[in-house]
Amino acid sequence: MAYIDWMIKGPKIASCNCDYGCPCEFNAPPTHDVCEGLEAMQIDEGYFGDIRLEGLRFAAAYRWPGPVHEGGGIVQGFIDERADEAQRDALIQILSGLEQEPTTAFNIYGSTIETEYDPVFGPIDFAYDMAARTGHFSVPGHIEMTLEPIRNPVTGKPHRAIIGLPEGFEFREAEMASGTFAGTGEIKFENSGCYGFLTVVGYGPHGVIG
């Protein structure tokens, strides 16, 4: 199948309700019966055909009733209000996974979704500091997430950990963090002290770039 030529690169931050490390990264069942979380990415460099995407942001909130690969998921996407109509359509096509090979991130997650709420076009506040292992993003009235360093339970000192996945479909390497997040829109949840990560990653029709 021929895909539209596209690429997005930039920082990505995320958190889910699993324990630090996230069992999904090791082909294991989720920590809890339900898998829920959210993520956001800032596009520092990107295009979809001849449509430029630099400077835009997008996010998603999701929940699965069990392991992701068993399906039945629900999701809602959030797209930067600064995107014009062509850019919105381009990002929706990218996030749908239809313009990406099977066994790649957007396509894999898309294939597990049973219910998709209409996307929200609004302001996405986004900040990250890879070295400090801190991050934040929010869409007012819908979702909010904060990342901070994992801390030693005895000394309280920051604990650094990195996951490296040479063949990972979501990232190749990411800094681990402690996530706190809440959803107050269509998908409601609230979790703290759980798995979070920060990475800089690129995606295209054939998966992770770099």
Domain boundaries in the chain?
8-203
Q: What is the mean pLDDT of residues 87-112?
A: 94
**For residue 103, what pLDDT is reported?**
86
Share of the chain above pLDDT 70, in %: 100
- For residues 134 and 41, the answer to whether their CB atoms sit within 8 Å is no
End-to-end CA distance of the chain: 23
Two tokens, residue 82: 């600064």
- Is residue 32 predicted with pLDDT exceeding 80? yes
**For residue 55, what pLDDT is reported?**
98
137's enclosing H/E stretch is strand 134-139
pTM summary value: 0.96
- Is residue 89 predicted with pLDDT exceeding 90? yes
Digit-coded pLDDT (tens) for 34-55:
999 999 999 999 999 999 999 9
Digit-coded pLDDT (tens) for 105-151:
999 999 999 999 999 999 999 999 999 999 999 999 999 999 999 99
- DSSP-derived secondary structure letter, 55: T
